């Protein structure tokens, strides 16, 4: 008999707590090995994501109703309490008695009585919870939306009144975006696919998995967030161009460039991880793209092979991922010192990538973060050291419109990932 959704969720959370394993991968493996029904797998995924999205919120009220600090509880017991509280307050179809009963069953013997006693004190509806009491508005927001205080303070400093909108968007359900492969189809008409309402060739998936789609099997679509797709559009490669994608895996920008180029020209897709290149190769084959060449390379070290030979260089650098918290809720728990090391790496990659841009060519810098230290500050540092490059305005379709050379897309604005796009051009003389 397969494990229950709650047990699978507990396994995934335990793996994340003890060895920083990606919870979605652990859950996927558990679902396969245990042959879990799709409905149970979906519930487990909801619980895992919900606990990570709302951890500080859940802890606040667990402490309030148990009259104990969370440090009193062992890791396993605390996650069981969090899972149950999340089900009570955020999931409509889970009866209160089921959430409590299953929690007691999951709890280790030493904790069963404590878990039962605490859960029976909790309100069964979120509307009955008392207001959060905090010493400052930023602390209140930190608890309400379960973002670390340092991140709330940073977002408040950089985005002012938009801070709470960003935090709220981070906890909303993530959409799966599909981009039309116009090399194989002019439009999509299939159950479970709806137009995005943002871009002509962008769609939103609902109600089924990507691999279940006939359109996906036929190579008529590929998965790419609309924000990431906009970065490829801003690069604006043309048929016959030579394009370098420096941090290419899993391949979305290379695919977008190839489609925009009409599968005519040359795209060199590089990544430091050899295993990930296979994702690009199989994706290109499925989409009918044959102008992509893959190879391993450290983007911080420019070779001489492509020196000043590329019409377009796209560099989507490793970043904190603060713009994709909605899809990967655990990202919010990164430490500020970990993020502070990234701009040096990002600048190094940008400077190295720039060496491959020909005179008059385009350099596209992008990230899936909205922190200015990884975005505008890196670009400014690069331009200060490289006077042969300059910002170049670009225009994007739909509601995104014109940009003076740099564009930050916030996650609440269009329901997309938070993203930063910068287009620069190497002067012709």
Identify the pLDDT of residue 85. Answer: 95
Structure tokens that stand for 96 in this block = 């209160």
Cα(6)–Cα(4) distance, rounded to whole angstroms? Answer: 5
Beta-bridge mates of residue 316: 366
Beta-bridge mates of residue 364: 314, 423
pLDDT in tens, 276-319: 999 999 999 999 999 999 999 989 987 778 889 999 999 999 99
Q: Are strands 266-271 and 242-245 parallel, antiparallel or unpaired?
A: parallel
Identify the pLDDT of residue 212. Answer: 86
Whole-Å CA distances, 289 to 53, 98, 136, 245, 374? 38, 51, 54, 15, 32
The stretches of 91-161 forming alpha helices (DSSP H) are 96-106, 112-121, 137-144, 149-159
Phi, psi torsion values for 332, nearest 5 degrees? -60, -20
Interior/surface letters 416-425, b for 16+ CB within 10 angstroms, e for the rest:
bbbbbbbbbb
Cα(324)–Cα(418) distance, rounded to whole angstroms? Answer: 6
Q: Which contiguous run of DSSP H or E holds residue 294?
A: strand 292-296
Identify the pLDDT of residue 99. Answer: 82
User: Per the residue annotation, which of 163, 247, 319, 368 is the catalytic one?
Assistant: 368
Q: Are 199 and 229 contacting, i.e. CB atoms less than 8 angstroms apart?
A: yes
Identify the pLDDT of residue 49. Answer: 95
Q: Which of 331, 316, 335 has the alpha carbon at shortest distance from 411?
A: 331
Identify the pLDDT of residue 68. Answer: 93
Q: Are strands 401-403 and 394-396 parallel, antiparallel or unpaired?
A: antiparallel
C-alpha angle 335-300-353 in degrees, rounded to nearest 5: 115
Q: Which contiguous run of DSSP H or E holds residue 271?
A: strand 266-271
- For residue 55, the number of C-alpha atoms closer than 13 Å in the C-beta half-sphere is 17
Among this protein's residues, is 368 annotated catalytic?
A: yes
How many angstroms separate the first and last alpha carbons of the chain? 71
With H, G, I as helix, E, B as strand and everything else as coil, classify residue 40: helix
Whole-Å CA distances, 208 to 223, 396, 405? 14, 30, 38
Stated pTM of the model: 0.93
Cα(247)–Cα(253) distance, rounded to whole angstroms? Answer: 10
Q: Are 74 and 4 contacting, i.e. CB atoms less than 8 angstroms apart?
A: no
Cα(343)–Cα(223) distance, rounded to whole angstroms? Answer: 28
> Within a 10 A sphere around the Cβ of 305, how many other Cβ atoms?
11
Identify the pLDDT of residue 38. Answer: 86
Using 50 as the pLDDT threshold, list the residues of the chain that sit under it: none
pLDDT in tens, 400-425: 999 999 999 999 999 999 999 999 99
């Amino acid at each position: 008999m397969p494990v229950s959704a709650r047990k699978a969720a507990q396994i995934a959370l335990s793996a994340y707590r003890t060895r920083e394993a990606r919870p979605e991968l652990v859950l996927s493996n558990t679902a396969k090995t245990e042959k879990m029904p799709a409905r149970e797998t979906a519930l487990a995924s909801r619980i895992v994501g919900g606990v990570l999205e709302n951890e500080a919120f859940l802890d606040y009220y667990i402490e309030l109703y148990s009259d104990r600090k969370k440090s009193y509880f062992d890791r396993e017991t605390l996650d069981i309490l969090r899972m149950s509280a999340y089900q009570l307050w955020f999931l409509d179809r889970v009866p209160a008695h089921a959430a409590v009963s299953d929690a007691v069953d999951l709890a280790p013997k030493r904790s069963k009585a404590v878990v039962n006693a605490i859960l029976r004190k909790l309100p069964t509806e979120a509307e009955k919870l008392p207001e959060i009491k905090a010493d400052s508005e930023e602390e209140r927001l930190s608890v309400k939306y379960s973002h670390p205080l340092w991140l709330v303070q940073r977002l408040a400093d950089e985005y002012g009144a938009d801070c709470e909108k960003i935090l709220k968007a981070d906890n909303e359900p993530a959409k799966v975006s599909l981009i039309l492969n116009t090399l194989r189809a002019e439009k999509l008409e299939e159950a479970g696919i709806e137009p995005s309402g943002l871009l002509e060739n962008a769609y939103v998936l609902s109600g089924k998995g990507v691999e279940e789609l006939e359109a996906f099997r036929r190579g008529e679509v590929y998965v790419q967030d609309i924000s990431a797709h906009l970065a490829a559009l801003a690069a604006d490669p043309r048929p016959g161009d030579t394009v370098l994608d420096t941090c290419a895996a899993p391949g979305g920008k290379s695919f977008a460039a190839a489609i925009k180029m009409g599968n005519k020209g040359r795209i060199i897709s590089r990544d430091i991880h050899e295993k990930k290149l296979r994702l690009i190769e199989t994706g290109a084959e499925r989409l009918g793209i044959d102008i992509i060449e893959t190879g391993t390379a450290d983007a911080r070290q420019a070779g001489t092979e492509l020196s000043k030979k590329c019409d377009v260089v796209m560099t989507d650098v490793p970043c904190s991922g603060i713009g994709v918290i909605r899809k990967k809720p655990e990202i919010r728990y990164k430490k500020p010192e970990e993020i502070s090391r990234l701009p040096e790496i990002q600048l190094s990659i940008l400077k190295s990538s720039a060496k491959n841009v020909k005179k008059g060519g385009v350099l596209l810098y992008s990230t899936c973060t909205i922190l200015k230290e990884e975005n505008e500050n890196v670009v400014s540092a690069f331009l200060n050291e490289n006077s042969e490059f300059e910002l170049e305005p670009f225009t994007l379709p739909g509601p995104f419109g014109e940009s003076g050379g740099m564009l930050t897309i916030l996650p609440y604005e269009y329901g997309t990932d938070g993203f930063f796009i910068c287009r620069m051009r190497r002067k012709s003389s």
